[in-house]
Chains A and B, each alone.
Chain A
Amino acid sequence: MTNTDEAVTHVDEVHAAGFHRPKTVTQLRRFLHAALEVEHLTIPVYMTGMYTIRPGTNRTAYYTIRSVLLEEMLHMTLVANLLNAVGGTPRVAHSRFVRSYPATLPMSDASLRPIHLRHFSPEALQTFLTIERPRSFHTNVSEGSGWTSIGQFYAAINEGLTELVREHGEDGVFTGDPARQVGPEDFYNSGGEVFPITGLDSAQTALEVISEQGEGAHDSIWDRDDQLFGEVRQLGHFFRFNEIHTGRHYGPNDAPSLPPSGPLLDVSWDDAYPIVGDSTVADYHRFQESSAVHAKAVEFNAAYATLLCCLERAFRGLPRALALAIPTMLTLRDLSEQLYRNPHPNPEFARDGYFASATFEITPHLVREAQKRVDQHIDEAGLETGEPVDLSGVTVGA
């Protein structure tokens, strides 16, 4: 295993280098590493919004957030495929991969407010909308003047990739081992599908999927899952979130720039567990004598580290390791429900009606421990490509 914790965040690097397209394959890989971080950045944010919904309430909102969350996982996997295809080595299991919240939104206007972990609330949805804002909502900017949207960032990757293939040919760019590609047998049931990336065509399809699921295709509110995968067409993420935020569905012909005009959507903001978004394990530690929240928060973070280690193994030549991510995610669900349903251990916060929350603090120590666990799970489960998945010999979790 490589050193898991060198202080690298590709996002910051790419962001700091200013707005330009990647001009070498090395730069392209760096951009794609940044893309992995960008896709992942949304996951703790959306997860917090989803799991703070009181069970059985706000169902449309719950499943909407869930669908976006799954597509962010799809995007991460597609980016990993692309990075592998161009000879890169995805790194996701290190402590800096998970940003500390509140986080600044990379590839965006510096004037945007930082991204907090928030419970299901109009403010949380406002954050989600900020993350997914389509590039068409921004005025066009020229190279070098700074990023304004994630869509624009992917457009730059696409331009760079196309130019590199023109210079070096497909064989000169797509030098990765095809065995490292994650295919549909190891990932399904989000909007869209994971597919192997083997050349410029499949790479561009992947980039299209990522951009269009987020911000809608061709200046519309819809993605193109129907055309690309023979699936049901869905709203782009921004528009799905906007439905919740406005409490109203879009009509079939609504324009992106206008508010939704369709039927009402039942949202009850009160049916959520309010949290203090930036609580830390250290905050909980003070109250560990009187509350089990600290132990559960640590357990949650350990499970999250396990998830990242599963993903890293899956992205580094063992696609079937994604199977281990499934029970790990179920563990995360159970642990977060336990956290959000318990009062904040600090009596002052509890008195104000705040509940405990997952902190998503991933330490190098947690990653090291998780790596051992995942290695052991893989030994126990086998997970050979092409073989049935059987996790019955494994007890997965934190």
Chain B
Amino acid sequence: MTLTTTGAEAARGHYDAVIVGAGWAGSLIAKNLDARGWRVLVLEAGEGETQTWSGYLDSLETFHSAVAKVPNSAYRHNRAAPSPDVLDLSPKQLSAQDEREYIANGYFVQNGPLPYGSDYIRALGGAGMHWLGAVPRMHAEDFATHENFGYGRDWPIDASVLEPYYAEAEHQLGVSGDAAEQRDLGVVTDRDYVYPMHQIPPSHIDNHCREKVDGATITDPMGAERTLHVTGLPQARNSTPNPNHHHNTTHGYQPKGAVGLPNYGERCVGNASCVPICPVQAKSSPQRLQDDFSDRVTLATRSVATRVLRGHDDRVRAVEYRSYGDPASPVSEPHTVRTDIVVLAGHAIENARLLLFSELANSSGHVGRNLMDHPTTLAWALADSQVGPFRGPGHTSGWEEFRFGRERASRAPFRIEISNWGWQWSTGAPMSNVAAALGLGGDADGSVRDSGHLGPELRRLLGDSISRQLQLQIAIEQWADPQNRVTIDPSRYRDAMGNPRPIITYDLDDHVRDGVFAAYHVSERIFGELGATSYTHHAPINGAPRIGHFRRGDTDLTYSGAGHGAGTHIMGTDPGDSVVDSFQRTHDHPNLYAVGCGSMPSVGTSNPTLTMAALALRSAERIHRDLVELSQPAVVRPRPAEDAKEMV
């Protein structure tokens, strides 16, 4: 059972380490340090209601009643600890050539040429609550794109260093997958590796795509030729435990069920609302780890870290935070808690914001820079037969072939997700289909339409249009460009509590735009192979652009955010151009860690959570060693050598 406390109560304790943020990274490190006997405080800025069953059901209801089922729709607005929301962006009709095509409201201040379209959630569990649960590993070549392909930054460690941590992370998160398939891809190299649970079965859509496209050769506009095969996705959701899974000396896997209700939680049965919330908690979340915390871990919610305070030498000495009682009000009180080690485990953008405001770790000038995401371009079509969308997890399979290979030098690589949720992301289906069939929304002139359908005709229309929906979500790699960055301007932009809001400057460079362009053409060719009719449409409609619209030559393209913010405290060996070392310890401060996707020098084309988790587990070992050293008793007066001899 997870016990949380208030910020005021937590300030009275003494802790070996203070972790800021109770998402995946923070929770993994807390659990690991807890198991090694250290006393840990975890500060969570947001609410923690979902740890109880009634709180979780409340979140579920909030989602059910939301008009737009966006990733944050299961959470209420929190004035004290605001979160960015994908609904904060709106398109703007162009009136001049050089003007931006978007308006950004909400928590982020945005001033870049293109919008940063991703959100996160400040609540217990963080983005690990609304994530999809996709956990592919990165490929060896993803770690060295500069060396291999001449773009981006290389990691100071390679895939082989991370491999055991990947395996441990998959155990901790509870992953279902087919290791043989991942070995064929080259991302799993251990010949004996077995995932904790059997793979989530492929969807009807996956099978449709496999039947129609497997073995077809597709060439992208840059000349990359690939033979396509549908490949399953490793996912952090419960399926059938695999007795052949090994963990240390134990065999098999006991799935972890729901948190907050004893002995509940089901295997994935395809409720199809993984983002933002799984009604049966088959989807893994950091709450599972928190549920296993011992009383050595103090978990304080509604506690917003404001600054890390510097001590003597280069060390940091304390974390300053503010606690609040009412999330609808910005009223709060400050606290300071001293500690030996500080671990920033907020979202990449929050970590950068905290470091910038604390004026720490920035001797390289790279804090906040290199902001990355997976710009995701959508492609949608109607299949030539019914394919059964809106069943199962968001996606269960994809085409992986364009993730790898030397063509990365000429355009960003991409991973093609086959959506199981029809045109939900691209057009707001199925509700948009219902609205269209009913004739809601008025015509182009704003007049009420009189052409709606009801009864059997409505059912027929919906059955025909919805059940054939195909959608591809193509995630493009974005390299670490220092121009894409998070800054703060506390004098101008503060949230209601008085903390600086993130200011985001974001763009896609030509390498990434070329990736979007190639992805678009590949999607059209795939639809051709499928015998499907493409409805993909990136051009402005009646002069109004879609969010994330840009032109490459004569081609209109759009992208969305994937929620994969990364790179803001980038990892490297040189303190002159990076913020943290390979253990995610800041170069400037030996007892300050910044963990999470913010450390990643490149993100490849894989959803980053698993890599982040692997890095966190590696950091936890290093933090443990630091704490062991720090807790050695100081030798005040060295014993004379002859005394020692006598004792022998």
Contacts and interface: CB of A to CB of B under 8 A. Distances in A.
A190 B178 CA distance: 26
Interface stretch (B5-13, B252-260, B353-361, B587-595): B252-260
A263 interface: no
A330 interface: yes
A192 B254 CA distance: 12
Contacts of A225: 262-263
Interface in B190-231: 198-199, 201-204, 207
Given A189-B257, A327-B269, A389 B240 contact: yes
Contacts of B263: 67, 70, 189-192, 225, 231-232, 234
Given A63-B264, A189-B257, A191-B263, A392 B202 contact: yes
A185 B240 contact: yes
Nearest to A67: B263
B262 A67 contact: yes
B630 interface: no
B51 to A, nearest CB: 14
B404 interface: no
Interface string A296-340: 000000000000000000000000000100110010000000000
Contacts of A184: 241, 252, 254
Interface string A356-376: 000000000000000000000
Interface size class of chain B, counting residues whose CB lies under 8 Å from the partner chain: 20 to 34
Interface string A215-228: 00000000001000
A390 interface: yes
A185 B61 CA distance: 31
A190 B255 CA distance: 12
B53 interface: yes
B278 to A, nearest CB: 14
Contacts of B261: 63, 67
A56 B57 CA distance: 9
A330 B264 CA distance: 16
Interface in A155-192: 184-186, 188-192
Given A185-B252, A232-B1, A388 B239 contact: yes
Contacts, number: 73
B267 to A, nearest CB: 8
Contact of A388 (B61, B207, B240): B240
A193 to B, nearest CB: 8
Contacts of B329: none
Interface string B524-550: 000000000000000000000000000
Contacts of A234: 262-263
A208 B588 CA distance: 59
A184 B57 CA distance: 27
B203 A392 contact: yes
Closest CB pairs A-B (n = 8): A388-B198, A390-B201, A191-B263, A232-B262, A185-B241, A389-B240, A189-B257, A392-B201
Given A188-B255, A225-B263, A388-B198, 17 more contacts: A56-B61, A63-B261, A67-B264, A185-B240, A185-B242, A186-B240, A188-B241, A188-B254, A188-B257, A188-B267, A189-B264, A189-B267, A190-B263, A231-B262, A386-B244, A388-B201, A392-B203
Interface of A: 56, 59, 63, 66-67, 70, 184-186, 188-193, 225, 231-232, 234, 323, 326-327, 330, 386-392
13 contacts: A59-B54, A59-B57, A63-B53, A67-B264, A184-B252, A188-B254, A189-B264, A189-B265, A231-B263, A386-B244, A388-B201, A390-B202, A392-B207
